[in-house]
Structure 1
Amino acid sequence: MDDQPVNLQLLAEVLDRQFHVMAATNGADALALARRAPYPDLILLDVMMPEMDGYAVCAALKRDPLTAMIPVIFITARNDAPSETRALAQGAVDFISKPINPTLVRMRVRLQLRLRQREHALRESKERLEIALEAAAMGIWTYDIDSGRLRWTTRQAALLGLVDECREGPLGAIKHRIDPRDRRACLANLRRTLRTGEPFDQTYRVIWPNGHRHWLHSLGKLTYDERGAGCRLVGTSRDICAVKAQQEQLETLAHRDNLTGLANRLQLHERLCHAMAAADRSGQRLVLVYLDLDGFKPINDAHGHKVGDQFLVALAHRLQATIREVDTLARLGGDEFAAVLVDLTDDNDCRTLLERLLAAAAEPVMIDRLSLCVSASIGVTFYPQAACIDADALLHQADMAMYQAKQAGKNSYRIFSEHPGTEGHTG
């Protein structure tokens, strides 16, 4: 834009071979051209114009969202520092004095257009990244090492349960959101990353204002300044509640009996190994119980598997209620159960629990107005023993003792012995 046609002619000759040039001789026309699609990539402005000078045009361009991002170069006869300062303060990117040097003008125009293209490409890349992160429900955060302050995106704020409009703050502002069970490990991992430069990789829970806990997985990478010193940690976070729920479901399926919800054979083995190690440390005994139902097969045969399954579920709940919370009851399969009884101080405690299990098994179970009765044969063994023994061998001992109880007439328990018949009880 220039009010002198000769100046416009000169600029057109300088630029026309490489660029598509549009001209205006006053501020109003210049603003109209700039606001009309396709929008210009660069605007050249003269300062001294009638009615509306170049400064006013530049200010109007920067106020309008349609034209605010278009770079502006002033080309003017004024070459004093205050004029240049005012132009740059209005938002111009460059200031060229008249008379112009054609080569210099072309170089500066090309430079600003290249910068414009790079800025446009960067903005598009950022927008694509934001879309991808939004689709992946990922938040972005940065931690500035010098200031100790965090900055986060709107998505990151939502993941943390933050409801205010603030998008930055000291680490302490976020630290209290982390579940106390995970806080120490999370902060230790952050310090390790800042000390060693290794990637930050942390799974943790955050507590929302409503008290709900949400699982997050955060990844971060340290960035460095020109001196090679770490200056900023840049990272992403995503909600992994669904992943954790699936893991817990798989864990449950792997360790729980599908029918009764009791521990299965795998979890029994893990609990037994753990209890044996604890007994070695404490010097206290544990008891392993192997329980097989007497008379369950006739119920299954007479009333079908549906009633049989209902009976097993009801009896499992009753047996579970009979033992203590510290003990473990498992269904091994079919009508066979096992229990790990821990922290028993004397034989009387053991006998009392065994008698209660026999009584619970023998009590009738009502299903669809049917009163169904069974009894139980129980095998018992203790740990520790004089000789070294592992969990599998211990379970085998309890199984052998259970068969001794069946051979002795059922509805009773027998304590394992290499010489059958040494100790038992009938319900």
Structure 2
Amino acid sequence: MKEEHVEHGAVVLVVDDDPFIRLLARDAMEEIGLQVIEAADADAALAAIADRAPDIVLLDVVMPGTNGFDACRQARRLPHMEFCPIVMLTVLEDADSVTQAYEAGATDFVGKPINWQLLQYRVRFLLKAAASFRAVLKSDVQMANAQRISSVGSWEWHIGPDLVTWSAEMYRLCDLPPAAFSGSCRDFLAPLHPADRPRVEQAMRDALDHGAAYDLEHRLLRPDGTVRVVHGKADVVFGPDGKALAMSGTWQDITQRKLAEERIHYLANFDGLTDLPNRTLLEDRMRQAVLQARRHSHRVLALCINLDGFKLINDSYGHAVGDGLLRAVAVRAKAAVRESDTFARYASDEFVLIIPELGDHRDVLQAVQRVQDLFAAPFLVDAHLLRVTASIGVCLYPDDGDNVELVLKNADVAMHEAKASGRNCFKFYAQEMGRRIAEYVEMEHALRVALERQQFEVYYQPKVNLSSGRLSGVEALVRWNHPERGIVQPDTFIPLAEKTGLIGPIGAWVLRSACLQARRWHELGFDDLSVAVNLSAHQFEQQDVAALVTQILAETGLAARHLQLELTESMLMSDSDSMLAALRAIKAVGVTLALDDFGTGYSSLAYLKRFPIDVIKIDRSFVHNITTDPSDASLTRAIVLMAKSLKMRTVAEGVETPGQLGFLGAIHCDDVQGYYFSKPVPAAALTALLQAQREQALLPQGAAPQRTILLLDDEPHMLNALRRVFRNEHYRILHTTSALEAFELLATHRVQVILSDQRMAIMSGTTFLATVKELHPDTIRIILSGYTELESVIDAINRGAVYRFFTKPWDDEQLREQVRAAFDYHWRLHGSPDEQPAPAAGQQA
């Protein structure tokens, strides 16, 4: 290949974040004798330009940080860069990207992958052109005119002799042989398109009369009937006397640019497949219709139309037939709608009809009927006779929305409601429908994206064994780490996952993740830790859960005894025979089964007998008021006793206070979980909690029992007086002015004797002690009162709520003696503290 001369020493700046592209560019440029400097991003490129102005720049478009378009704009503002050639390198070759490149100041545009040999030629040419351009800038006015007419047809009209001279390019533009041009102004104007000639002649007269250069676009009509579009510019030369001597100018052929602009305009506003207005043009026409409706106080109708079964047609006959059907629908619609209406393609198989200046509601039904009539006859597409129906959503401006976006959105919502109602029908928009469907559609899409992009994360809540005080297991709880909403709780998205069938893959992912994490904890030395995973009834409908569990245990290496699967009571009720078979298959694998939220559903004891349940989880609704509500306390105690008689373990959920913990320890619940220990946390935080318990158990072990008295009086000075009475009795004295705090103290401490005032603001002493009798029946309860309230006190004594009654003021020695007798009475009934079992973890002696 013959090498063309390139000025040695020319510097090319290569800007690309891909080091391999920079290497190839360096080799290609050095091969033609150029010096190369490199930059990996826009900031480095701008710094290199400031340091050493290059002769030409090869600039990538898509880079981290500042993109090539913005970098080009910034470079053009730097010194010595106004006329430096900048060549954009990119895979983006659409019209918008090309336009954006040139608007940013690019000289040329090269697509990737790069033809390096062709790029060498372009660089040579651009360097030569740049050198010539710099030379032109240094020349006089005549050279400036030469620059303006470079690469375009030029002409000059000598006005006196009426002589026009043309460059060779002018003959090409007009498609005329030299013999066809006599050189007169009349012949010069002859190629002009008849419709544009008056404008050109007027521009020439204005230039001659006023001396102003003319600049306009017009058309040329060639002998073969083709039309070219040119950009014309001209200047007038005047003599010393002010008389016009000559006019010189250029015609630049911009036909291709105009065609590209028209194509871009078409693609921006019309659908290429159906030739219908697209979403952009539809919204523009809708805005115009809304403006007119506001001005004249009338309505605008929007119908959103979706083809029923279009996906099935695509899948059955192929996309070519599907496209043909869309074109056939468009043809039929164009013939049916009025010129003032707009029928647009809004999405794949979705169309929108806009009817401005709606008369009344009868017109709405007529419009809907016209649309339904479009689908009455079958469509013949590529020898296939296709019968198609449509689901139609109806929305009115301003009734159902006060702006374009809202009207179109609500029409789409109504259309989805029509599809959900059985298809081949229409639905009017209703506000509640819009909110419900919009949230559903948005959440379903986001949920599928979350599954694809692995936006889910497993959190773990610890379970603590009340015998050892140490962490015995964790419950795996899935969270959705939404990029915009943050952490989404499972009660928000699990019901939707169950409806859409996504619960299967989500549940399998959670199970696998939890087993993997449990295995990692075992490798860290926490060998006895188990992990519990919740199962949905829909998972049993979609897959063989036993096979899934077996597969995941094999993949992760977790022993089956360390996996617990949690079920709900409602799951056991649905198709109990098949569920029983499924659970027996799971039990055969060796995992543990837990019944979650026990007591909130039907709680049939028959289920506990029939199904292979190992663990009962006491619902948080019982635990919440366990220290103050005798019914909740009794039910919880009964559940624990029943579970032990059936040789099942118990786990209490929702433990948040020391009182709840103490009560559960006192009734010998096996394990607890709740915010008292930890909210659900990521695996790393749970690992830190596990490591911390190596040094110290989460719950302290109980100390030796001792005589404990609880004093309750809502008057602080009376409470202090009572404390002084017993300060030398070697009791552990608990005291409070609040009945609610007294319940908490009773739940967290082993109390034998209670001394309570009768008359208190929030709760009377007899009411308090009656509740204590239900919650802590082994306590000895004494009441103090300075008022004559014999009826309520006697009633409390008769019901067994009160052991003794003292009046205020009391005799200190007599009160001390009666309390000693109360402790003796307690020990005779329940044994001395030394004979009683040590308190459970979380309950003090």
TM-score bracket, normalised by the shorter chain, equals: 0.5 to 0.7
What SS does the corresponding residue of 1:403 show, helix, strand or coil?
helix
Picking from 144, 153, 178, the partner of 1:138 is 153
Q: Does 1:398 align with 2:414?
A: no
Cα deviations by residue, 1:30-56 (Å, 9 ceiling, x for unpaired): xxxxxxxxxxxxxxxxxxxxxxxxxxx
1:303–1:214 distance in 2 versus 1, CA, 3 Å: same
Cα deviations by residue, 1:54-73 (Å, 9 ceiling, x for unpaired): xxxxxxxxxxxxxxxxxxxx
- Name the residue aligned to 1:168: 184
- Name the residue aligned to 1:363: 377
- Name the residue aligned to 1:373: 387
1:315–1:207 distance in 2 versus 1, CA, 3 Å: same
What SS does the corresponding residue of 2:266 show, helix, strand or coil?
helix
1:402–1:282 distance in 2 versus 1, CA, 3 Å: same
Q: Aligned equivalents of 1:298 and 1:183: distance in 2?
A: 57
Q: Aligned equivalents of 1:350 and 1:386: distance in 2?
A: 13
Q: How far apart are 1:346 and its partner, in Å?
A: 4.9
Q: How far apart are 1:282 and its partner, in Å?
A: 6.0
Q: Unaligned regions of 5+ residues in structure 1, if any?
A: 1-124, 422-427
Within a 5 Å distance, the mapping from 1:98-137 to structure 2 comes to: 136=151
Comparing 203-212 with 150-159, greater Cα deviation is found at: 150-159
Q: Does 1:321 align with 2:335?
A: yes
Q: Does 1:334 align with 2:348?
A: yes
Within a 5 Å distance, the mapping from 1:297-316 to structure 2 comes to: 297-316=311-330
1:340–1:187 distance in 2 versus 1, CA, 3 Å: farther
- Name the residue aligned to 1:290: 304
What SS does the corresponding residue of 2:402 show, helix, strand or coil?
coil
Within a 5 Å distance, the mapping from 1:21-32 to structure 2 comes to: none
CA contact under 8 A between 1:294 and 1:374: conserved in structure 2?
A: yes
1:386–1:364 distance in 2 versus 1, CA, 3 Å: closer
Q: How far apart are 1:313 and its partner, in Å?
A: 2.5
1:234–1:273 distance in 2 versus 1, CA, 3 Å: farther
Q: How far apart are 1:218 and its partner, in Å?
A: 0.7
Q: Aligned equivalents of 2:418 and 2:341: distance in 1?
A: 22
Q: Aligned equivalents of 1:358 and 1:259: distance in 2?
A: 22
Q: How far apart are 1:237 and its partner, in Å?
A: 0.9
Q: How far apart are 1:355 and its partner, in Å?
A: 1.3
What SS does the corresponding residue of 1:263 show, helix, strand or coil?
coil
1:378–1:232 distance in 2 versus 1, CA, 3 Å: farther
1:158–1:152 distance in 2 versus 1, CA, 3 Å: farther
CA contact under 8 A between 1:197 and 1:222: conserved in structure 2?
A: yes
1:231–1:405 distance in 2 versus 1, CA, 3 Å: farther
1:377–1:200 distance in 2 versus 1, CA, 3 Å: same
What SS does the corresponding residue of 1:167 show, helix, strand or coil?
coil
Picking from 194, 198, 202, the partner of 2:216 is 202
What SS does the corresponding residue of 1:246 show, helix, strand or coil?
helix
What SS does the corresponding residue of 1:223 show, helix, strand or coil?
strand
Matched letter for residue 260 of structure 2: Q
Q: Aligned equivalents of 1:333 and 1:414: distance in 2?
A: 19
- Name the residue aligned to 1:225: 239
Q: Aligned equivalents of 2:162 and 2:376: distance in 1?
A: 67
Cα deviations by residue, 1:341-392 (Å, 9 ceiling, x for unpaired): 3455555454333212212235322334433222111223334x37983322
How many pairs does the alignment contain? 286
Matched letter for residue 315 of structure 2: D
Q: Aligned equivalents of 2:428 and 2:192: distance in 1?
A: 53
1:291–1:166 distance in 2 versus 1, CA, 3 Å: same
Q: Aligned equivalents of 1:284 and 1:402: distance in 2?
A: 23
- Name the residue aligned to 2:701: none
Q: Aligned equivalents of 1:343 and 1:183: distance in 2?
A: 41
CA contact under 8 A between 1:140 and 1:155: conserved in structure 2?
A: no
CA contact under 8 A between 2:235 and 2:247: conserved in structure 1?
A: yes
Q: Aligned equivalents of 1:190 and 1:283: distance in 2?
A: 49
Q: How far apart are 1:202 and its partner, in Å?
A: 1.0
CA contact under 8 A between 2:393 and 2:414: conserved in structure 1?
A: yes
Cα deviations by residue, 1:113-171 (Å, 9 ceiling, x for unpaired): xxxxxxxxxxxx99xx8xx97xx462424374xx6968352754774577854322369
Q: Aligned equivalents of 1:218 and 1:307: distance in 2?
A: 48
Picking from 239, 258, 280, the partner of 1:266 is 280
CA contact under 8 A between 1:157 and 1:167: conserved in structure 2?
A: no
1:246–1:405 distance in 2 versus 1, CA, 3 Å: same
Cα deviations by residue, 1:235-282 (Å, 9 ceiling, x for unpaired): 111333222222222222332323323222122222322333444556
1:302–1:197 distance in 2 versus 1, CA, 3 Å: same
Q: Unaligned regions of 5+ residues in structure 2, if any?
A: 1-141, 435-845
Matched letter for residue 308 of structure 1: G
TM-score, length-scaled by structure 2: 0.30
- Name the residue aligned to 1:93: none
Cα deviations by residue, 1:300-330 (Å, 9 ceiling, x for unpaired): 2333333322322322322233223333222
- Name the residue aligned to 1:250: 264
Q: Return the index of the structure with the highest Cα Rg.
A: 2
Q: Aligned equivalents of 2:408 and 2:158: distance in 1?
A: 54
1:209–1:258 distance in 2 versus 1, CA, 3 Å: closer
Q: Aligned equivalents of 2:259 and 2:268: distance in 1?
A: 14
What SS does the corresponding residue of 1:394 show, helix, strand or coil?
helix
Matched letter for residue 248 of structure 2: V
Q: How far apart are 1:291 and its partner, in Å?
A: 1.0
What SS does the corresponding residue of 2:185 show, helix, strand or coil?
strand
CA contact under 8 A between 1:327 and 1:342: conserved in structure 2?
A: yes
Q: Aligned equivalents of 1:388 and 1:194: distance in 2?
A: 58
CA contact under 8 A between 2:306 and 2:390: conserved in structure 1?
A: yes
Matched letter for residue 189 of structure 2: I
1:372–1:170 distance in 2 versus 1, CA, 3 Å: closer
Q: Aligned equivalents of 1:387 and 1:192: distance in 2?
A: 56
What SS does the corresponding residue of 1:204 show, helix, strand or coil?
strand
CA contact under 8 A between 1:148 and 1:170: conserved in structure 2?
A: no
Q: How far apart are 1:399 and its partner, in Å?
A: 1.5
Could you say which structure has the greater relative contact order, defined with CA pairs below 8 angstroms and 6 or more residues apart?
1
Matched letter for residue 401 of structure 1: A
